[in-house]
């Protein structure tokens, strides 16, 4: 199904580019083309198409066309969890908003702000933006378009109110959504609510079935969410094999449409199923994938979470009647400056400590290497390690019995793989050597070192090589 969608959207994109130089699109035609790309999960193709089309609109001074393509780019970037870039495109649009009268385009800008802020857990700010969007949606003359956009806003506000535990407001939004034309995600939202209560599995199944029946009318993302919740349902029923089947269907979709956030969550859910099935190897494999992707996404989230706050401060400063926010901003700046000063001083101190440890570590490794270089016995062990010989750990135990026994007894949580990794470090093998003998990537080696330090109760400032050599 995903393959067929990809072929269709690729053909569509190819056809568009063939006619691109000679064809001008109305906003309705543009929306139709982009919708079909998103439905097939081709968000990157949609971004490229809109970037090229935006240049053409700019040349002919078509401001509405420029705004529409920028909104599309911002939407696709947000779907791919690239919120920082998405917000930049929205910020660029605002200068041109006062030059147009089109209420639909204006509503879409605030729609997208609301969606991004909701994804970033800024629910109050998100709701404010959605309310601004509603103001413009009500000016749209076409009833069908008006209702479609009202549904979109109500469904997102429903999610916001649920997260903020405003139950009455949540049910009010749900009622409004039901009065319009429900999308599959609305049924999923209701099903998720029952899932969180760990009961009413028949109700969960009922709403997920309703969602699945109409899912082909909507972007591929919605089917991925449906399969994910089917997996949760069968996990609740302790049918781990069926849960895994749905999780993997969902994972295939989210990988195909580059939804890293959902991909990360699925790795954890899959690991939980394998744990219930007592499959330690698969549990470890998917927890590893979850950890690596989680570290990457958390770094990006910490970076972008300040963006909407800065924008909010700019908006408040522009309103003279709300001068008290300037005072709060000043206090916030002082606190932030103090925090940054402490942070950079501490960082400088840590850097000096790391340099000292590095020098000491290099010196220790060089002296240790020279001492062991002339030991035929040690060279044999290193050779076994580099060849990934199964007898390596046996020979190492014979050569370093105290080191091995001390680690094994003092740190019982260490696995055989952990002990082998410690042995490689004891032999002063470099990252490059470890990559060769363990068939790992440099990044994986660094990750294993980081986790090993945690298991050995070492602080971030402790040098792992030095600690190992002292044992």
Label residue 25 left, alpha or beta by phi (over 0 means left) and psi (-120 to 50 means alpha).
beta
C-alpha closest to that of 47 among 20, 69, 63: 69
Tell me: pLDDT of 7 over 60.
Answer: no
Tell me what the mean pLDDT of segment 37-58 comes to. 88
**Is residue 70 classed exposed, middle or buried when 0-12, 13-18 and 19+ CB atoms within 10 A define those classes?**
buried
- Whole-Å CA distances, 276 to 5, 195, 241, 243, 458: 35, 19, 10, 11, 31
Residue 99 and residue 61: Cα distance in Å, rounded? 12
Whole-number Å distance between alpha carbons of 313 and 327: 11
Give the C-alpha separation, 123 to 456, whole Å: 40
Summarize pLDDT for 348-387 with one digit per residue, the tens. 777 777 776 676 566 555 545 445 443 556 788 888 888 8
Chain Cα centroid distance, residue 369: 43
When pLDDT is averaged across residues 44-61 and rounded to a whole number, the result is 90
- Tens of pLDDT, residues 89-101: 888 887 788 888 8
What are phi and psi for residue 60, nearest 5 degrees?
-95, 10
Position 319 scores a pLDDT of 54
Alpha helices in 374-430 (DSSP H): 376-386, 392-399, 401-410, 416-426
The encoded tokens of residue 298 equal: 């958390």
Torsion of CA 174, 179, 183, 185, to 10 degrees: 10
Count of beta carbons in the 10 Å neighbourhood of residue 325: 15
Residue 139 has pLDDT above 80, yes or no: yes
**Selected residue with higher pLDDT from 220 and 6:** 220
pLDDT at 244: 95
CA 8 vs. chain centroid, Å, equals 27
- Long-range own/partner contacts, residues 130-136 (CB < 8 A, 24 or more apart): 130/156, 130/157, 130/160, 133/107, 133/108, 133/109, 134/107, 135/107, 136/103, 136/104, 136/106, 136/107, 136/110
Q: Any idea where the domains of the chain sit in the sequence?
A: 198-318, 357-470
- pLDDT-derived band at 17, boundaries 50, 70, 90: very low
Question: Shortest CA distance to 447 belongs to which of 298, 314, 292?
Answer: 292
pLDDT digits (tens, 9 = 90+) for 286-345: 999 999 988 877 765 555 555 555 555 455 555 555 556 666 777 877 787 777 778 777
The domain 198-318 is classified under which CATH number: 1.10.150.120, 1.10.240.10, 1.25.40.10, 3.30.499.10? 1.25.40.10
Gap between the Cα atoms of 210 and 184, Å rounded: 7
- Residue range 409-418: mean pLDDT, rounded: 88
pTM: 0.53
When the pLDDT of each residue in the chain is averaged and rounded to a whole number, the result is 82
């Amino acid at each position: 199904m995903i393959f067929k969608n990809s072929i269709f959207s690729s053909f569509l994109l190819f056809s568009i580019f063939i006619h691109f130089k000679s064809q001008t699109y109305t906003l309705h035609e543009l929306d139709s083309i982009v919708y079909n790309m998103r439905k097939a999960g081709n968000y990157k193709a949609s971004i490229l198409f809109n970037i090229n089309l935006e240049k053409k609109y700019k040349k002919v001074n078509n401001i509405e066309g420029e705004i529409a393509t920028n909104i599309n780019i911002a939407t696709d970037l947000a779907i791919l969890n690239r919120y920082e870039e998405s917000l930049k495109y929205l910020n660029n649009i605002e200068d041109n908003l006062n030059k147009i009268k089109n209420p639909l385009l204006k509503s879409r800008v605030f729609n997208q702000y609301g969606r991004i802020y909701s994804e970033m857990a800024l629910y109050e700010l998100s709701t404010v933006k959605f309310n601004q969007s509603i103001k413009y949606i009500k000016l749209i003359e076409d009833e069908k378009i008006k209702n479609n956009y009202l549904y979109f806003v109500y469904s997102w506000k429903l999610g916001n109110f649920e997260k903020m535990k405003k139950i009455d407001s949540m049910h009010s939004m749900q009622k409004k959504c039901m009065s319009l034309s429900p999308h599959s995600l609305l049924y999923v939202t209701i099903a998720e609510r029952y899932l969180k209560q760990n009961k009413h599995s028949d109700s969960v199944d009922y709403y997920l079935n309703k969602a699945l029946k109409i899912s082909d009318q909507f972007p591929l993302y919605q089917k991925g969410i449906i399969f994910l919740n089917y997996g949760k349902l069968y996990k609740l029923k302790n049918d781990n094999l069926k849960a895994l089947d749905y999780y993997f269907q969902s994972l295939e979709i989210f990988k195909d449409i580059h939804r890293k956030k959902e991909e990360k969550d699925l790795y954890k859910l899959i690991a939980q199923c394998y744990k219930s099935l007592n499959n330690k190897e698969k549990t470890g494999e998917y927890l590893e994938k979850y950890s690596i992707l989680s570290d990457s996404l958390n770094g990006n989230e910490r970076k972008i979470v300040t963006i909407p706050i800065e924008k909010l401060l700019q908006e408040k400063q522009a309103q003279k009647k709300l001068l008290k926010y300037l005072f709060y901003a000043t206090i916030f700046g002082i606190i932030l400056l103090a925090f940054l000063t402490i942070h950079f001083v501490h960082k400088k101190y840590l850097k000096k400590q790391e340099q000292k440890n590095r020098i000491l570590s290099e010196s220790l490794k060089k002296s240790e290497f020279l001492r062991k270089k002339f030991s035929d016995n040690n060279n044999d062990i290193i050779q076994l390690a580099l060849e990934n010989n199964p007898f390596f750990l046996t020979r190492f135990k014979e050569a370093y019995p105290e080191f091995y026994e001390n680690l094994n007894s003092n740190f019982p949580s260490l696995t055989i793989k952990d002990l082998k990794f410690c042995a490689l470090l004891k032999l002063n093998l470099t990252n490059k050597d470890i990559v060769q003998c363990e068939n790992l990537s440099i990044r994986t080696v660094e990750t294993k070192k980081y986790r090993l330090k945690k298991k050995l109760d070492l602080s971030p400032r402790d040098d792992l090589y030095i600690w190992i050599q002292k044992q």
